[in-house]
Amino acid sequence: MSEHRLTSVGIDVGTTTTQVVVSELEVREPAGAGKLEIVSREIRYRGTIHETPLSGPETVDIDAVARIVEDELAAARVEPSGIETGAVIVTGETARKDNAEALVHRIASEGGEFVAAAAGPALEAVLAGQGSGAATRAKERGEIVANADVGGGTTNVALFDADGVRDTRCLDVGGRLVRFDSEGAITGVSEAIRGLADDLGVDLEPGTEPSTEDLDRLAGAMADCVIDAITGPPFSDRTASLAIGSLPTDPIEVDGVAFTGGVGRLVHGDPTDPFEYADLGPTLAAAIRERAAELPLLDLDETIRATVVGAGTRTTELSGRTVEVDESLLPLRNLPAMGVGDLPEEDLETRLEGVIGEATERYGPDEPVVLAIDDVGPLTYDRLTRVAAAIDTVWTADGGGRPLLVLTRQNCAKALGQALRRRSDGRPLAVIDEVGVADGEYLDIGRPLDGGETVPVVVKTLAF
Amino acid sequence: MSDKRAKDRLDGPRDPDLLERITDRNPSRLGVGRAGSRPRTDTLLEFRADHGIARDAVLTNVDEGFIEETGLVKIGTLIEDTEEYLARPDRGREISAETAEYLREHCEEGPEVQLVVADGLSSSAVEANVPDLLPILLDGLADRDLRVGTPVFVEYGRVDVMDAIGEELDADCCVILIGERPGLASAESLSAYLVYGPERGGPTAKKSVISNIHQGGLPPVEAGAQLVDLIAEMCERERSGIDLREDDREFVTD
Ligand code: B12
């Protein structure tokens, strides 16, 4: 097989907006690569930007989102059955809604056979930077590029270098955290921002009309944290208190900064009516714009659609060209990865028992997990035989409920897979190589691309 | 060889990370600097050393002990010595009548799969890769219930000697693991050529090949496992080479 095209969908259900893009991924084997790679990504259809439909303050209207997706796919002239890969991501505050999990799983399963469900601010940060073009710029120029995705509910910053993602910093800062009616009176305030408001002595009582000065102070403090998140470490206490997850500790100097997301887009543009979107967005954007004057600002390809473009074009990876899988197992979805690290030279069983014990504790007995091995050791016959025997012993002792699912970074899936199959007594099996995944991440594995064995893989986080 | 080259980089590059990303990409002699218009002494010595390794791979023979330990039946072609081997590829493809007789005496006849190992253009490739590749291959073929003949080692062999051996032993399918022409980046690269229905003078188009087998390329264990699948497919569909991939090609008529 020399060339193949994959139709991929990206769906982003964010705090404020819901978006759909359809793209085409070109798969080929670049000279000397020894494996298939995605060599180009073309957006075929850019959907309209819809307001995320809510059916209550803490619930997303799943049926309405499903209708948006259905209509957009019809407008793009693609059948769900024609969609081969992609991702649905719930982002910002939407990820914290009561029915977020049900939402992504439903949309993913209706979106096409192999559309992944994903969530989590760090993933969102990375996808936005990949969608905007920040990652490509970092790679092409060997620079450190920060992508700050400022949306309705959260701000997610990802720093890229030539090798990929350096780190991410995520904050509870967004334009929709304070909402107004047409008169400028407050209609809603998100919990996440109350602490900061109290700290500043800004009264956000619903029904009241805060002064411009108070709103500027609030937006100014939020903007300070956004800039701090880009230029730190070190970070101010206030930034740390708004952080979602951990913040990095090693200082890095950035060469370029791009703002994306609904609010991020306004940073690049001219000032707008502060209440145009009935929220704090334009005020926050203006405050960031003022403070960002000192930063090396970049104008990249995508702003408001950065995350959805990232979800649609960057989530799929391809495995090595030869793998060992029972096709009846595929597609596999939402498999938790158990990081094994580098396999030790001796006492493989002890290490693997530990990992399987941990899997039972985390996910329950017999729940499928993928054993993610960084380094199996030297790729020799004796070593692979030894590793296969150890995995089989530990799996058998575990009770036999779990399929044998193994992922390696080195190119050895077929050899290890055959050695396992010989021992495993007909137990279903999938061994896939040349993909890296970290402990606690999740994995979707699709059916082989036609004419070969290469399988599409989506590595993701699920933060429910 | 690339780790040896690591020291031989430009002095005081402005962006060492960038240089490393470029030089890590492939094993070519990139970013090695220069002395005036000539290569630096280190670079030149390394180039000569690599060339020496490549020549050695061609000019030395596979260790007798290795052939014995691996349990291979050793035969020769019509070639007498290395010089003749290089000058007369045609004689490296044929075996004498006595050798054919010897083969029939010492090897199982009519196997489904005949395995051949040959020095080809790199004896180092054979010694480096066959110990890990062959046992994986034998395990896998046994799993598929394929009847494997007595593995043979050929000294001074060319690829097409597999046709003569396969024909003499009446094998359904023949596989040769042979040292590739060495380059200046690796002298340890092995290829596997495969044919279904071996016959002397058969077209190359009927052969399949898996190349670039070495620790820095396709690891020998993984190559062994791939060969298992490929051989099983060849035996099942009773074809090899282009015929095996026919349905992958699109012919536009009219
Ligand atoms: C030398 C060489 C050639 C020479 C062979 C001349 C000769 N008499 O030695 C020439 C220039 C003719 C050649 C041609 C081709 N080659 Co060539 N060749 C090589 C090379 C550089 C070294 C081979 C070697 O060391 N052989 C070992 C010695 C001992 O063998 P030999 O008996 O002396 O020579 C035989 C083999 O070399 C064999 N052979 C050479 N190439 C090919 C290709 C295929 C598909 C097959 C079945 C056999 C074959 O034919 C020779 C005569 O019997 C390899 C690179 C590598 N990494 O191996 C590529 C390589 C084997 N060739 C390749 C290709 C694609 C071809 C061509 C199909 C190119 C084309 N599009 O026309 C043709 C097909 C040949 C044919 N139909 O007869 C590919 C195979 C890729 C693959 N995995 O399928 C390789 C791996 C290069 C690459 N990396 O792309 N080749």
**B249: pLDDT strictly greater than 70:** no
What CA–CA distance (Å, rounded) separates A365 from A378? 32
H-only helix segments in A31-173: 62-75, 100-111, 121-132, 134-141
Atom of ligand 1 nearest to the CA of B210: 83
What CA–CA distance (Å, rounded) separates A253 from A422? 53
Atom of ligand 1 nearest to the CA of B160: 53
**Model confidence band, residue B5 (pLDDT cutoffs 50, 70, 90):** low
Atom of ligand 1 nearest to the CA of B89: 33
**For residue B107, what pLDDT is reported?**
94
CA atoms within 13 A on the CB side of A224: 13
Residues 244-263 of A with CB under 8 A from B: none
DSSP A208-266: ----HHHHHHHHHHHHHHHHHHHH-SS--HHHHHHEES----S----SEEEEEHHHHHH
Architecture of domain A3-119 in this structure: 2-Layer Sandwich (3.30)
**For residue B2, what pLDDT is reported?**
42
**For residue A236, what pLDDT is reported?**
92
Q: Which among A283, A55, A275 is positioned nearest to A180, based on CA atoms?
A: A275
Encode A320-380 in three state secondary structure.
CCCCEECHHHCCEEEEEEEEEEECCCCCHHHHHHHHHHHHHHHHCCCCCCEEEEEECCCCC
Cis peptide before B39 (omega within 30 of 0): no
List the CATH code of the domain at B64-250.
3.40.50.11240
Amino acid at A23: S
**For residue B253, what pLDDT is reported?**
57
Q: How far is it between the farthest Cα atoms of chain B?
A: 68
What CA–CA distance (Å, rounded) separates A71 from B170? 64
**Chain A residues touching B215 at Cβ < 8 A:** 379
CA B206 to ligand 1 center in whole angstroms: 13
Tokens of B81: 């010595």
| B141 touches B172 (CB < 8 A) | no
CA B133 to ligand 1 center in whole angstroms: 21
Let me know if B40 is exposed, middle or buried by CB neighbors in 10 A (0-12, 13-18, 19+): middle
| A68 touches A18 (CB < 8 A) | yes
Q: How many CB atoms lie within 10 A of CB A33?
A: 11
CB contact under 8 A, B225 and A417: yes
What CA–CA distance (Å, rounded) separates B174 from B116? 7
Q: How far is CA A353 from the centre of its chain?
A: 30
**B11: pLDDT strictly greater than 80:** no
What CA–CA distance (Å, rounded) separates A235 from A251? 10
Q: How many CB atoms lie within 10 A of CB A395?
A: 21
DSSP B55-98: HHHHHS---HHHHHHTTPEEEE-S--SHHHHHH-GGGGG---HH
Q: Which among B157, B137, B177, B166 is positioned nearest to B76, based on CA atoms?
A: B157
Residue by residue, pLDDT tens for chain A (464 residues) are: 456 888 898 999 888 889 999 999 988 887 767 788 888 888 999 999 998 888 887 888 889 988 998 899 999 998 888 888 888 888 877 777 788 888 888 888 887 777 888 877 888 899 999 999 999 999 888 899 999 999 888 999 999 998 888 899 999 999 988 888 888 888 888 888 888 888 888 888 888 888 888 888 889 999 999 999 999 889 999 899 988 888 888 888 999 999 999 899 888 877 778 777 888 888 999 899 989 888 898 988 888 888 889 888 888 888 888 888 888 888 888 889 998 989 988 889 999 999 999 888 888 888 899 999 999 999 999 999 999 999 999 988 888 788 899 999 999 999 999 999 999 888 889 999 988 888 888 888 888 887 678 888 888 776 56
What CA–CA distance (Å, rounded) separates A14 from A131? 15
Chain B residues contacting A, CB < 8 Å? 15, 17-18, 21, 26, 131-132, 135-136, 139-140, 143, 212, 215, 217-222, 224-226, 228-229, 248
| A342 touches A348 (CB < 8 A) | no
| A257 touches A226 (CB < 8 A) | no
CA atoms within 13 A on the CB side of A41: 23
Higher pLDDT, A327 or B206: B206
Secondary structure class of A202 (helix, strand, coil) = coil
Mutate to test the pocket of ligand 1, among B200, B209, B248 (most ligand atoms within 8 A of CB): B209
CA B123 to ligand 1 center in whole angstroms: 18
CB contact under 8 A, B221 and A162: no
**Chain A residues touching B229 at Cβ < 8 A:** 322, 414
What CA–CA distance (Å, rounded) separates A195 from A205? 13
The nearest CA of chain B is from the CA of A323 a distance in Å of 9
What CA–CA distance (Å, rounded) separates A60 from A17? 12
CB contact under 8 A, A381 and B143: no
Q: What is the dihedral angle through the alpha carbons of A428, A433, A436, A437, rounded to the nearest 10 degrees?
A: 0
What CA–CA distance (Å, rounded) separates B188 from B57? 8
Architecture of domain A320-460 in this structure: 3-Layer(bba) Sandwich (3.50)
**Chain A residues touching B212 at Cβ < 8 A:** 34
Task: Give the CATH number of domain A124-304; options: 3.30.1370, 3.40.1350, 2.60.40, 3.30.420.
Answer: 3.30.420
Q: How many CB atoms lie within 10 A of CB A136?
A: 15
Tokens of B54: 């490549």
Q: Does A379 touch chain B (CB under 8 A)?
A: yes
**For residue A60, what pLDDT is reported?**
86
Mutate to test the pocket of ligand 1, among B159, B186, B191 (most ligand atoms within 8 A of CB): B159
The Cα angle at residue A31 between residues A145 and B58, in degrees rounded to 5 = 125
CB contact under 8 A, B215 and A419: no
Phi, psi (5° rounding) for residue B103?
-60, -50
SS3 content of chain B, % helix, strand, coil (to 5): 45, 15, 40
Secondary structure class of B4 (helix, strand, coil) = helix
Q: How far is CA B139 from the centre of its chain?
A: 20
What CA–CA distance (Å, rounded) separates B72 from B114? 12
Let me know if A32 is exposed, middle or buried by CB neighbors in 10 A (0-12, 13-18, 19+): exposed
Amino acid at B107: C
Q: Looking at residues B108-118, what average pLDDT do you find? A: 96
**Chain A residues touching B30 at Cβ < 8 A:** none
Q: Nearest residue on chain B to A417, judged by CA atoms?
A: B225
Let me know if B64 is exposed, middle or buried by CB neighbors in 10 A (0-12, 13-18, 19+): exposed
| A171 touches A241 (CB < 8 A) | no
Long-range Cβ contact pairs of A200-207 (< 8 A, separation 24 or more)? A204/A178
Higher pLDDT, B244 or B120: B120
Q: Which residues line ligand 1 (CB under 6 A)?
A: B 89, 120-121, 158-160, 178, 180-181, 189, 191, 193, 204-205, 207, 209, 211-212
CA dist A387 → A373, A375, A419 (Å): 11, 11, 9
CB contact under 8 A, B222 and A381: no
**Chain B residues touching A323 at Cβ < 8 A:** none
> What is the ipTM metric for this complex?
0.86
What sign for the dihedral angle of Cα B50, B54, B59, B60? positive
Domain boundaries, chain A: 3-119, 124-304, 320-460
The nearest CA of chain B is from the CA of A360 a distance in Å of 31
What CA–CA distance (Å, rounded) separates A147 from A168? 9
| B179 touches B127 (CB < 8 A) | no
DSSP letter (8 states) at residue A77: T
Q: Looking at residues B138-167, what average pLDDT do you find? A: 96
Q: Does A451 touch chain B (CB under 8 A)?
A: yes
* Highest mean pLDDT: which range of A3-7, B16-20, B203-207, B244-248: B203-207
E-only strand ranges, chain B: 73-76, 113-118, 152-155, 173-179, 190-196, 207-213
**A264-300 exposure pattern, b = at least 16 Cβ within 10 A, e = fewer:** bbbbbeeeeebbebebbbbbbbbbbbebbeebeebeb
Q: How many CB atoms lie within 10 A of CB A237?
A: 7
Domains A3-119 and A320-460 share a fold: no
